[in-house]
Amino acid sequence: MDSRKDRTLGPAARKLVILDRDGVINADSDQFIKSTDEWVPLPGSLEAIGRLNQAGYRVVVATNQSGVGRGLFDMATLGAMHAKMSKLAAAAGGRIDAVFFCPHTSVDACDCRKPKPGLFQEIARRYEVDLTGVPAVGDSLRDLQAAAAVGALPHLVLTGKGKKTLAAGNLPDGTRVHDSLAAFVNDLLADEDA
């Protein structure tokens, strides 16, 4: 990052957290989250985003949304889900700066579908930051693998698919485990104060 630009952005812009969506911020479903009615925040997740913002972090979401590619919902519906997420986060004192998503299925062989690092690389380009050491929170192995591929710090939460992911093992080196997004935020902010 250009140091002149870094100074103009201020300290809040230099602190970034990347979150997966389903299973981290909202309840997940093996049948996909296909509507705003099905998009239900996990207890404490939106407040946790607010705490990150208050501590000077920008929060961005990186999410696979193959339901679009499968024809289960359209881009307008996805946009409505993300608008609901942002509105509810704001009501809880939080802000999601951006949502980066992959609409493709596994057969599309794209570069943006996690575990490939395309979404993370796009975040790095858009924010003009090196993601080395940036916390990235997910509930599935592919979230952690995409984070590790760009040097971000993988954090597994045990919500969503997290317990199955932990039980299956083979986590990237250095993966930290937390009960929930709220627990991750508690640990992150405690580490800053230490």
Catalytic entry in 20, 37, 97, 193: 20
With a cut of 60, say whether residue 10 has pLDDT above it.
no
Tell me: the pLDDT tens digits for 68-115? 999 999 999 999 999 999 999 999 999 999 999 999 999 999 999 999
∠ CA 80-82-85, rounded to 5°: 115
pLDDT band at 116 (very low <50, low <70, confident <90, very high): very high
CA 152 to CA 186: how far, in whole Å? 19
Catalytic entry in 22, 108, 187, 191: 22
User: Is the Cβ–Cβ distance between 56 and 98 less than 8 Å?
Assistant: no
Tell me: the pLDDT tens digits for 21-36? 999 999 999 999 999 9
Domain residue limits at 179:
16-193
Respond yes or no on whether the N-terminal peptide bond of residue 115 is cis (omega within 30° of 0). Answer: yes
**Total tally of structural domains belonging to the chain:** 1
CATH code for position 175: 3.40.50.1000
Does 104 appear as a known binding residue?
A: yes
43: β partners: none
> What's the pLDDT at 14?
62
Does 139 appear as a known binding residue?
A: yes
CA 148 to chain centre: 14
Tell me: the pLDDT tens digits for 119-175? 999 999 999 999 999 999 999 999 999 999 999 999 999 999 999 999 999 999 999
Token duo for residue 69: 């590619």
Active site residue 108: no
> What's the pLDDT at 192?
85
CA 129 to CA 149: how far, in whole Å? 15
Q: For residue 8, tell me if it sits in a domain.
A: no
Q: For residue 6, tell me if it sits in a domain.
A: no
Q: For residue 7, tell me if it sits in a domain.
A: no
Active site residue 20: yes
